C-alpha cells in the first residue's frame, strides 16, 4: 500500500474569495473514495486543483509528481466532453483520446465499451444522458494512471445506468490505483466506498473509512454525512 495523493496546506482563491484553505489529505493506493459536499462546496475545484487545471498555493503530490504537467500524466479526470462537436462520433473521440494520452489502453476501452453497450458509430448528440456518462466513464477508466477522478457521474442518471457504471468501476479499476468519486448524495454508492472525504467550510473537514462509521458510530454513511451539517457552526469552534 503506497501513497497516491498527498495534499498539504492547500489554499485556493478566486476573485478575492477564499474557496479552499488549509486543506490536508493523504490517500493510499487501491481505494475507492467518495468526495462529498454540498453543491458549490468546492468538490470540482479540488479535483481541478489535483489534476492541475487550476493553480493554488501549497503542495499537491500524485504518486511522486508535483508539477501540474507531471501530475496530468498520473491523473485521469472525467471530462464532460463539452470540447467536442455535437455531431462527433464516439470513435472519433476515442481516437482523440489515444492521440493525446499515450497511456490510453485501447483494449481496455473495447472491453468497457462492450460491457457498457457503447456504439462506435453513435454521434455524441444522439446519446442519452446515461449513455453519455457511460462514455465518459469508459474513456476515463481506459487511461492507465495512479489516480482516477470522477466528477458527479451519477447526477441525473437512471438506476440501471448507475448500476452498470458502478459495476464497470468494480471490474476495471486497476488494483493499485485509487479512484475518487464526487457526489452530494452518498447512499447509492456507499457500499463501494472505502473512505469518504467531506469538503465543508472551504476546507477538507472529514476523512474517514466507511466501515469505521458503520462499526463505531453504528450509522449509515448518508446519516453520518448529513449530521455533519446539523448544528453547523457550533462544531467549528
Partner 1 sequence: MQFDDKVPIYYQIKQYVYQQIITGKWQPGTQLPAVRQLAVELTVNVNTVQRALRELIAAQILISKRGKGNFVTTDQTTLATLADQLVQDRLGAVYDDLRALNLTDQQIITAMQTYIEKRGRQDEHDFND
Closest distance between partner 1 and the C-beta of residue 160, in Å?
Answer: 13
Which CB, 215 or 233, lies closer to partner 1?
215
Closest distance between partner 1 and the C-beta of residue 29, in Å?
Answer: 11
Strands 3-14 and 17-28: what pairing? Answer: antiparallel
Query: Could you give the strand order of the β-sheet that contains 147-150, starting from the edge strand earlier in sequence?
Result: 75-77, 147-150, 178-183, 32-36, 195-200, 203-209
Closest distance between partner 1 and the C-beta of residue 161, in Å?
Answer: 14
| Residues near partner 1, by CB under 8 A | 30-32, 163, 166-167, 170-171, 173, 175, 187, 190-194, 210-211, 214-215, 218-222
List, in sequence order, the alpha helices (H) in the chain. Answer: 43-51, 68-72, 90-100, 106-116, 129-142, 159-172, 210-212, 221-227
Which CB, 145 or 165, lies closer to partner 1?
165
Which CB, 38 or 176, lies closer to partner 1?
176
Which CB, 8 or 163, lies closer to partner 1?
163
Closest distance between partner 1 and the C-beta of residue 92, in Å?
Answer: 31
Amino acid at each position: 500500500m503506497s501513497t497516491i495523493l498527498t495534499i498539504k496546506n492547500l489554499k485556493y482563491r478566486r476573485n478575492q474569495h477564499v474557496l479552499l484553505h488549509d486543506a490536508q489529505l493523504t490517500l493510499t493506493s487501491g481505494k475507492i473514495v467518495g468526495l462529498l459536499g454540498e453543491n458549490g462546496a468546492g468538490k470540482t475545484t479540488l479535483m481541478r486543483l489535483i489534476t492541475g487545471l487550476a493553480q493554488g498555493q501549497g503542495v499537491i503530490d500524485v504518486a511522486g509528481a508535483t508539477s501540474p504537467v507531471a501530475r496530468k500524466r498520473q491523473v485521469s479526470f472525467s471530462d464532460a466532453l463539452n470540447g467536442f462537436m455535437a455531431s462527433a462520433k464516439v470513435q472519433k473521440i476515442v481516437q482523440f483520446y489515444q492521440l493525446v494520452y499515450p497511456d490510453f489502453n485501447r483494449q481496455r476501452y473495447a472491453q468497457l465499451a462492450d460491457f457498457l453497450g457503447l456504439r462506435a458509430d453513435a454521434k455524441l448528440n444522439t446519446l442519452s444522458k446515461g449513455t453519455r456518462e457511460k462514455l465518459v466513464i469508459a474513456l476515463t477508466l481506459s487511461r492507465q494512471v495512479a489516480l482516477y477522478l470522477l466528477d458527479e457521474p451519477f447526477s441525473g442518471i437512471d438506476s440501471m445506468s448507475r448500476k452498470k457504471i458502478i459495476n464497470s468501476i468494480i471490474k476495471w479499476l486497476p488494483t493499485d490505483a485509487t479512484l475518487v468519486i464526487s457526489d452530494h448524495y452518498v447512499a447509492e454508492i456507499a457500499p463501494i466506498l472505502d473512505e469518504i472525504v467531506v469538503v465543508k467550510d472551504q476546507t477538507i473537514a472529514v476523512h474517514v473509512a466507511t466501515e469505521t462509521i458503520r462499526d463505531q458510530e453504528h450509522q449509515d454513511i448518508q446519516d453520518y454525512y448529513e449530521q455533519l451539517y446539523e448544528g453547523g457552526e457550533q462544531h467549528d469552534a
